Structure 1
């Protein structure tokens, strides 16, 4: 049986992914790091909305940010991204590959 902490982390990750723009952000980060501005222009979404979505993804431990001067570059956490661009989500009892957004 899954313990409570593991189930809680799984629920947080699934909740973070339950929004189309967050899935698009994950997809955009498959190819490398991007700033909020780059993501906003690529996805045609307001900067503030991208920031809110990135906060939710950070809280779910799916993305990380690295500060460069006044900019932050976001990337997928190493444990969910593989060298071939695939993204894997560890749900505790199974590991799921997230498909590319088309």
Structure 2
């Protein structure tokens, strides 16, 4: 049988977005790239919690990081997002998540 969905990759991505906190982080990163402290402040949650979730998103390939001085700044992996006039869509290959009118920065 041909694996048209790339089941392993799809499963890893779905697991990464299958948490409400991670979906909130993705929405936050639609606005602009942020470091862990900024995300924690925006979402009003603990830095350790955000750091853990960003690690999961990074390992799944949904988020990229880059060093900026003493901080690591996280942004969405724009190659996984499709833009149209009325929506930003996360394309996981096996399915798509519509994030409405947000637009990823990067």
TM over 0.5: yes
Cα distance, 1:47–1:80 mapped onto 2, change above 3 Å: same
Could you say which residue in structure 2 is the equivalent of 1:2? 3
Taking structure 1 as the reference length, what is the TM-score of the superposition? 0.83
**Residues 30 and 81 in structure 1, CA contact (< 8 A), matched pair in contact too:** no
Alignment partner, residue 50 of structure 1: 50
Equivalent pair of 1:64/1:76 in contact (CA under 8 Å): yes
Deviation (angstroms), 1:87: 3.3
Shift of residue 83, structure 1, vs aligned partner: 5.2
Give unmatched runs, 5+ long, in structure 2: 101-106
Question: Please, which runs of 5 or more residues in structure 1 have no aligned partner?
Answer: none
Cα distance, 1:15 vs. partner?
0.2
* Structure 1 residues 21-46: Cα deviation after superposition (integer angstroms, max 9, x where no partner): 00000011112101101100000110
1:98 and 2:95 correspond: no
For residues 74 and 83 of structure 2, the distance between their equivalents in structure 1, rounded to whole angstroms, comes to 17
Number of the residue aligned with 1:35: 35
Q: Which residue of 1 aligns with 2:15?
A: 15
Among 55, 69, 89, the alignment partner of 1:87 is 89
CA shift for structure 1 position 69: 1.3
Distance in 1 of aligned mates of 2:8 and 2:39: 29
Contact 1:30 1:87 in 2 (8 A): no
Deviations 1:57-91 (A, max 9, x none): 00100000010111011000021234566132222
Aligned equivalents of 1:90, 1:18: Cα separation in 2: 13
